[in-house]
A and B are shown apart, each in its own frame.
Chain A
Amino acid sequence: MVKLNNFDLVIVGGGPAGLFLAKEAKKKGINVLIFDREDRIGGILKQCIHTGFGLEIYGKDLTGPEVIENLKEEIKNLDIPIFTKSMCIGFEDGKLYFYSPKGVIETKSDYYIFSLGARERNRGSVFIEGDRPSGIFTAGFAQYITNILGLKIGNKIAILGSGDIGLIMARRLILEGMEVIGVFEIMPFYGGLPRNIRQCLEDFDIPLYLSHTILKVSGDKRLKKIFVSEVDQNLKPIGNLKEFEVDTLLLSIGLLPEIDILKKDSLKIDSKTLGPFVNQYFLTNKEGVYVIGNSLTIFDLVDKAMTSSLNALDGILKGKRIWNKDFIKIKKGNLIRNFVPQIIERDVGFVKIYYRVSEPIINKKLYLKEDNKIIFEKKIIAKYPAEMDEILINTDLIEKDEVILEIL
């Protein structure tokens, strides 16, 4: 068994957030190593061959693989060991283990960072009546099949959910000569970024059916038909079922932070983000364990998942391994879907909060309040749930143990 006990920091997950943090940590003199379960680092960005990445960090509109190439170039001369094809199997007796074709690897370190990315919600998350044919896939699966393997996922395709990956795939499949009959969204508003609605659907005349969902599928071998219904404001089906003949249904119904490997360690999970509870350093309640990127919360932009990881580096440089006993808890208020961090240390100056709204907001105000005292306020002209917003709050102004984040 290989034992690697001489590193200051073990990073699990070599996607954009993990690689970015590894690079920054090494530059600060932290002895770091990276594990990744795939044979190539880069995470999901490898298959995101569209542009829209890197604007904040590189000042250029890049494709996913280009961002990864930049990162690889930057860490090339930094002497950071990278173990690929290494699957983390979790902690045992304070040590973190990996299975790899080289054998079982044991690590012991003061600091661990988990940047495991996200997993896609699948058919199990939404109930669709009917048969169980092939041809029902998550949008990310279709993206890999199309962009990495160069294979044709279907001929006539419907998309359930207006999340960004589904929108990107709608355009991609049209460009590859396939037919996309429409995107069906159960909510009265879309789930992806406004720019993707424009560039991926409107520019290609792909219909977007808001307040519609797929109730039933049929097909004994490959998918043959979907049955669509309009829904009312309580999301209950109304009217008659409409049939569409398709051989492929892509599900773009949201991402879930990937954090299962830590669940047995009594990691405190936030029921709103479905990722871990963290303080402003993205430190969890498990000693020495930080979580960044999409395994913390689903970010809207890759650049944000990368830059926000510097919070963890800050914590490590300050030697933070456990939560302070005295902290301020942020409570979720009106029209807020979720946010990180969920707790903050007291009197540490300015701290950034990342949040999402629960429905489209026009001309309202965001508040962070302590009882009736306003700690922070900001006008919101227009904000979609798909967009993550960030605010900088002054912790020195907070006296109580609890503050509330709300929109009024």
Chain B
Amino acid sequence: MEKVYDVVVGGGGVVGASIFRELSKYEISLLLIEKEEDIASFGSTIANTGIIHGGYDLLPNSLKAKLNIEGKKLWKELVKKLNIPNEFNGILVLGKDDNEEKIIYELFDRGIKNRAEVKILKDKEIFELEPNLEKDYKIALYSDGGIIDPFIGTLNLVRNGYKNGGEVLLECEILNIKKEKDFITLITTKGDIKTKFFVNALGFFGRKFLPDQSIIFPRRGEYLVTDKNLKGLFSHPIFGVPSEKGKGISITPTPHGNLLLGPTSHITSFYDTSSYLSERIEILEKVKSFIDFDFSKYIIRDFAGVRASSKTKDFIIEFEKESNILHVQGIDSPGLTSAPAIGIMVKDLINERFCLKEKVNFIDSLKKDINIKDLNKEELDSLIKKNPSFGEIICRCEFISKGEILNALKTFPYPKNLDGLKRRLRVASGRCQGSFCTIRILKIINEELKIPFEKINKKVDGSNIVYGEIE
């Protein structure tokens, strides 16, 4: 008899990862599948501002409002247990004129209804928090959110679920789903997988498994990233007042010291993650209202992502009729914030049909990886004496050592390419964008993993860096 899983979670983004980790607390057979070669490498999670929102702007009584408030609380715990880079410094929404002041008071009222922690700041109070802000702002809504590294957040959720017995299968794309009498068969690129429950957290790509696909539509957003020379220019994510298109373009300091400018928000007809000059100009124009400053010299890269929005304007988290397929769809903003709460909600929904028994030995935290930036000189010196590879700096922009790279290469889920390492360690994500360290990383992968140079990819197969030896 073939194995039948109790639950298969489809989708290795932050939502799938949160559900996976939550379910790994229970005595069930559990599998996470992801179509790409790495978790959170392609979808909305990686093209995310990383903001844990306050929950002030959402319609009261919506699923979004409820899960945002709960998710924010859960993240505050998770960042500590799972060593996720973060900064919970609060978020500002800024207003200049009477109309914007009116909107900010409306948001304040909504925030109170949603039980968000909000307060109104005026004039001097705003500039005490953000001295570099243009001086024509007169009112701001402060809420108690923060920022996290969305990739490390997702990675560590998966690592924690894996440590607690959950299985992970990468490069496994679901082609079709067959509903059988006692279980569900997932027809995948890695063969058939049988499961009692299937959770569709496949992001935009899960739309095709919905009874009514047309309910989900793609919306793309583009971002610009500045180098760390602008660290300290702003210390909170700052927004203008929201519009019907969403929260709008913000300036967000990342936990690593870069600034993120964006995102734009445009409905698209396909999964379009390329960059456009028009959107770059749109972002640079918008951020001028926050500060009269030429960011263009400081931009080191751009990226874009697609999020799956729902016509219902709320998250869709429900079982398909007469089936154990649970759809988690339309998870656009505040999806990252809500993810841990979505995990609990999915667990509760499954628990109504399948009695989940808690594990007695669940381990709720991860051991911290060695990060030489956390060490003082004496600590680093004694670490190097034990393991000299921590004294060999490979990435000069972000100060990352060979030892850290070797550790990442040996830690599940393994990085399979240069971008996988970059997401984990930030190698090649500084000002030089890899022109110094890429060669050194290629050599390490070649020597340590015995992979020929021409088989080392930037991202997916076919994105090789070199073509073998010169004849």
Shortest CB-to-CB span from B285 to chain A, Å, is: 15
Shortest CB-to-CB span from A247 to chain B, Å, is: 8
Do residues B435 and A146 form an inter-chain contact, with CB atoms below 8 A?
no
Interface centre among B229, B389, B462 (most CB of A within 10 A): B462
Do residues A99 and B467 form an inter-chain contact, with CB atoms below 8 A?
no
Do residues B460 and A129 form an inter-chain contact, with CB atoms below 8 A?
no
- Chain B residues with CB under 8 A of A133: 458, 463
- Chain B residues with CB under 8 A of A120: 432, 435
User: At the interface, yes or no: B210 with Cβ under 8 Å from chain A?
Assistant: no
**What 1/0 flags go to B32-53 for Cβ under 8 Å of A?**
0000000000000000000000
Assembly CA distance A208 to B423 (angstroms) = 38
- Chain B residues with CB under 8 A of A134: 457-459, 463-465
User: At the interface, yes or no: A194 with Cβ under 8 Å from chain B?
Assistant: no
Do residues B433 and A151 form an inter-chain contact, with CB atoms below 8 A?
no
Do residues A127 and B384 form an inter-chain contact, with CB atoms below 8 A?
no
**What 1/0 flags go to B271-300 for Cβ under 8 Å of A?**
001111100100000000000000000011
User: At the interface, yes or no: B215 with Cβ under 8 Å from chain A?
Assistant: no
- Chain A residues with CB under 8 A of B467: 151-155
Do residues B435 and A101 form an inter-chain contact, with CB atoms below 8 A?
no
- Chain B residues with CB under 8 A of A176: 470
Q: Choose from A1, A129, A150 the contact partner of B274 (Cβ within 8 Å).
A: A129
Do residues A129 and B276 form an inter-chain contact, with CB atoms below 8 A?
yes
User: At the interface, yes or no: B3 with Cβ under 8 Å from chain A?
Assistant: no
Interface centre among A150, A155, A215 (most CB of B within 10 A): A150
- Chain A residues with CB under 8 A of B463: 133-135, 221-222
Given contacts A1-B377, A127-B277, A153-B467, contact A103 B301 (CB under 8 A): no
**What 1/0 flags go to A232-248 for Cβ under 8 Å of B?**
00000000000000000
User: At the interface, yes or no: A364 with Cβ under 8 Å from chain B?
Assistant: no
User: At the interface, yes or no: A400 with Cβ under 8 Å from chain B?
Assistant: no
CB closest residue in chain A, given B378: A1
**What 1/0 flags go to A244-269 for Cβ under 8 Å of B?**
00000000000000001001000000
- Chain A residues with CB under 8 A of B457: 134
Assembly CA distance A122 to B467 (angstroms) = 22
Given contacts A133-B463, A145-B466, contact A123 B301 (CB under 8 A): yes
Do residues A150 and B469 form an inter-chain contact, with CB atoms below 8 A?
yes
Do residues B299 and A124 form an inter-chain contact, with CB atoms below 8 A?
yes
Mark out the residues of chain A between 149 and 194 whose CB falls within 8 Å of any chain B CB in the assembled complex: 149-155, 176-177
Do residues B460 and A152 form an inter-chain contact, with CB atoms below 8 A?
no
CB closest residue in chain B, given A97: B377
Do residues B466 and A151 form an inter-chain contact, with CB atoms below 8 A?
yes
Do residues A124 and B435 form an inter-chain contact, with CB atoms below 8 A?
no
User: At the interface, yes or no: B1 with Cβ under 8 Å from chain A?
Assistant: no
Do residues A123 and B458 form an inter-chain contact, with CB atoms below 8 A?
no
Shortest CB-to-CB span from A152 to chain B, Å, is: 4
Do residues B380 and A99 form an inter-chain contact, with CB atoms below 8 A?
yes
User: At the interface, yes or no: B127 with Cβ under 8 Å from chain A?
Assistant: no
Interface SS of chain A: helix, strand, loop or mixed?
A: mixed
User: At the interface, yes or no: B401 with Cβ under 8 Å from chain A?
Assistant: yes
Binds B, one of A48-56, A136-144, A298-306, A355-363: A136-144
In which size bucket is the chain B interface? Answer: 35 or more
**What 1/0 flags go to B231-273 for Cβ under 8 Å of A?**
0000000000000000000000000000000000000000001
Q: Choose from B301, B393, B454, B468 the contact partner of A87 (Cβ within 8 Å).
A: B393
Do residues B453 and A151 form an inter-chain contact, with CB atoms below 8 A?
yes
Q: Choose from A89, A100, A124, A149 the contact partner of B301 (Cβ within 8 Å).
A: A124
Given contacts A119-B436, A176-B470, A177-B471, contact A222 B391 (CB under 8 A): no
Q: Choose from A104, A152, A155, A218 the contact partner of B384 (Cβ within 8 Å).
A: A104
Assembly CA distance A263 to B435 (angstroms) = 20
Do residues A150 and B470 form an inter-chain contact, with CB atoms below 8 A?
yes
Given contacts A103-B385, A134-B458, A140-B435, contact A152 B391 (CB under 8 A): no
Mark out the residues of chain B between 181 and 195 whose CB falls within 8 Å of any chain A CB in the assembled complex: none
User: At the interface, yes or no: A37 with Cβ under 8 Å from chain B?
Assistant: yes
User: At the interface, yes or no: B362 with Cβ under 8 Å from chain A?
Assistant: no
User: At the interface, yes or no: A132 with Cβ under 8 Å from chain B?
Assistant: yes
User: At the interface, yes or no: A349 with Cβ under 8 Å from chain B?
Assistant: no
Do residues A99 and B393 form an inter-chain contact, with CB atoms below 8 A?
yes
Assembly CA distance A124 to B434 (angstroms) = 11
Assembly CA distance A151 to B464 (angstroms) = 12
Shortest CB-to-CB span from A13 to chain B, Å, is: 12
User: At the interface, yes or no: B461 with Cβ under 8 Å from chain A?
Assistant: yes
Q: Choose from B275, B431, B434, B439 the contact partner of A129 (Cβ within 8 Å).
A: B275
- Chain A residues with CB under 8 A of B392: 85, 100-101
Do residues A151 and B468 form an inter-chain contact, with CB atoms below 8 A?
yes
Mark out the residues of chain A between 179 and 227 whose CB falls within 8 Å of any chain B CB in the assembled complex: 215, 218, 221-222
User: At the interface, yes or no: A319 with Cβ under 8 Å from chain B?
Assistant: no
Assembly CA distance A100 to B401 (angstroms) = 10
Q: Closest 3 CB pairs between A and B? A: A134-B458, A101-B388, A221-B462
24 of the cross-chain contacts (CB-CB < 8 Å) are A1-B377, A1-B381, A87-B393, A101-B389, A101-B392, A102-B388, A103-B381, A103-B385, A104-B391, A119-B431, A119-B436, A120-B435, A129-B274, A134-B459, A134-B464, A137-B435, A141-B439, A145-B439, A150-B470, A151-B468, A152-B466, A177-B470, A218-B274, A222-B464
18 more contacts with CB within 8 A, not counting A99-B393, A129-B276, A134-B457, are A87-B393, A99-B399, A99-B401, A101-B391, A103-B381, A104-B381, A104-B391, A119-B432, A119-B435, A120-B432, A130-B275, A134-B458, A134-B459, A145-B439, A151-B470, A152-B466, A221-B461, A221-B462
